[in-house]
Structure 1
Amino acid sequence: MHPVALAGAAAGRLAHYAVSGVVGGLILRGASKRLPDAKPVARKALIGGIAGSIVAGRWVASAAEEARLKAGDVLAEARTSLGEEVPPPSAVKVDNHDHGHEH
């Protein structure tokens, strides 16, 4: 699978969790207005849901980064098998590296 596709899937999952958290919060807010006694329970459930979303988001980001690194390794191995020089890994390509000092 292409790294961009994996990153897109990860972003989609993160968006899903974010929307789920917001919708869940709105539902719990409406329920707590109707049932004042349920407010502490609703707040606890909301906090638990948000915490779960944070953990899931971290897992998705970690999995996407691992997939990106594995894809880079495979690409580097393919270039090596063709006799090409493999460029060093970089998250950002810098074309103009002039920012006021010498290297």
Structure 2
Amino acid sequence: MHPVALAGAAAGRLAHYAISGVVGALIIKGAAKRLPEAKPAARKAVVGGLAGGIVAGRWLASAAEEARLKAGDVLAEARTSLGEEVPPPSAVATEGHEHDHEH
């Protein structure tokens, strides 16, 4: 699967969980106003929805990192096939690095 497609699918899932959580919370909030005894169940449902969102966020971060690593491997292989030297992954250019903190 192409890394962009993988990231798009992950973003779609994350958006689904976020929207579902917000809509669910609004529905439960409205129901809780009408039925005071439903509050514990409503809270449990909201907590479950948020937990699902956290899990989805973690999965998205993991998928993005995996896609980044795979893209780096393909880029390194392409440079090697052209006879170029591949810089190590830790080599980061710092020219033009202007922040308000010291290194």
TM bucket, shorter chain: 0.7 to 0.9
Tell me the TM-score normalised to structure 1 length.
0.76
User: Shift of the alpha carbon at 1:8?
Assistant: 4.5
Q: Work out whether 1:84 is the aligned partner of 2:84.
A: yes
1:66-91 CA-partner distances (Å, limit 9, x unpaired):
1110111011111111101223336x
- Identical aligned pairs, as a percentage? 83
CA separation of 1:56/1:98 partners in 2, compared to 1, >3 Å: closer, same or farther? closer
Tell me the TM-score normalised to structure 2 length.
0.76
1:10-66 CA-partner distances (Å, limit 9, x unpaired):
334323322221111111101111111111001011101101110111011101111
| Counterpart residue number, 2:19 | 19
Q: What is the SS of the residue equivalent to 2:53?
A: helix
Question: Residues 17 and 57 of structure 1 are in contact (CA less than 8 Å); yes or no, is this contact kept in structure 2?
Answer: no
Which one-letter code corresponds to 1:19 in the other structure? I
| Counterpart residue number, 1:50 | 50
Structure 2 residue runs without a partner (length 5+): none
Q: What is the SS of the residue equivalent to 1:87?
A: coil
CA separation of 1:36/1:98 partners in 2, compared to 1, >3 Å: closer, same or farther? closer
Which one-letter code corresponds to 2:30 in the other structure? G
